[in-house]
Amino acid sequence: MNLETRKLSFIQEILKIQSEKTIAMLETILKNAKETSELENIEPMSVEEFNQRIDKSLEDSKKGNLTEVEDLISEIEKWS
């Protein structure tokens, strides 16, 4: 059975589910699979790139281009 056929079969089975709990579990599994897939695609940076980021961060710090922790927390709380 090829991938497209398997997906269609899976969708048909999902449509038959009547349990809210089962749907929630499947949503969690799908979310976790997506997150894992995204993490697998992250490529490490080179030492040169890492050092450039450190230099830029130090320069930003000297110039006062910073975000206070309290401001950051307030901004994050607005996300949800």
- In this predicted structure, what is the pLDDT of residue 48? 96
pLDDT digits (tens, 9 = 90+) for 8-19: 999 999 999 999
Contact 14, 26 (CB under 8 A): yes
pTM of the model: 0.47
In a 13 Å sphere around the CA of 16, the CA atoms on its Cβ side amount to 6
pLDDT one-digit tens code per residue, 13-46 = 999 999 999 999 999 999 999 888 887 888 889 9
At which residue do the structure tokens 């599994």 appear?
Answer: 29
Average pLDDT, the chain: 91
DSSP class per residue in 25-45: HHHHHHHHHHHHHHHHT--PP
Task: Provide the residue type at 72 as one letter.
Answer: L
| pLDDT value of residue 19 | 93
Backbone phi and psi for residue 40, each to the nearest 5 degrees, phi listed first: -65, -25
